Amino acid sequence: SALAKQFDDPKWAQQKDQAPSEWNPGQVREWSRKCNGNTKSLPKSVAQCLFDAKVDGAKLLSMEREELSHIGINRTGTLDLVMTAIKDLKRNHGNPASFIDHSPYCFQKILDHMRLTAMNQGPLFQMPSPPSIHDSQKENFQRTVDYYFPGELSSFIMCNPSFDSLVLSKPESAQILA
């Protein structure tokens, strides 16, 4: 489910890591030593050059080929590897994972509506009226419902029920809803 994926996503754990822009020169050195994600491993000399030049995270993220050459990283292949690694670092850490808002208000409204629906099951089933949502929360509520109840499932929360059935005709579907 979307909810399970949201809390089991590896990006969730990455969010609590310190942003690369806040790294000190020692952390930059460690990154360059470990850097072998989508690129080939960086030569050990790169880590030492970055550390000797006191390159912190903010500086690392803004460095171009010319600046890398000034601190002693001169070989074309090595420059390409470092630039690719910096680009990967920006891409992987530049935009932290964004998750749907965890509004307790929205979740409480959804749970209340689901409870009412479950309590009204039986021979005299009537779909409960739609949840009453404060104007300031309507957009957030719609987004939350669409995320956790995609497609037709959202109609049961938003109370726009419609059954497109392969078994029943439209009039039969309408009778079920009536």
Residue 99 lies in a domain: no
Same domain, 6 and 79: yes
* Range scoring the smallest mean pLDDT among 48-52, 115-119, 138-142, 155-159: 155-159
Residue 9 lies in a domain: yes
How far apart, in Å, are the Cα atoms of 163 and each of 44, 126, 160, 178? 63, 15, 10, 12
pLDDT tens readout for residues 16-40: 567 888 899 999 999 998 875 444 6
Residue 50 lies in a domain: yes
The last residue of one of the domains, among 94, 126, 145, is: 94
**Total number of domains in the chain:** 2
* Residue found under tokens 């030593």: 33
Report residue 124: phi and psi, to 5°. Answer: -105, 40
Output the pTM of the full model: 0.45
The C-alpha atoms of residue 37 and residue 86 are separated, in whole angstroms, by 11
Mean pLDDT of 119-148: 82
Same domain, 85 and 120: no
**Count of other CB atoms within 10 angstroms of residue 47:** 18
Q: What angle do CA 150, 154, 155 make, to 5 degrees?
A: 140
Band (15; pLDDT cuts 50, 70, 90): very low
Residue 42 lies in a domain: yes
Residue 16 lies in a domain: yes
Give the domain extent around 142.
104-177
**CATH number, position 33:** 1.10.150.50
pLDDT tens readout for residues 35-57: 754 446 788 899 999 999 999 99
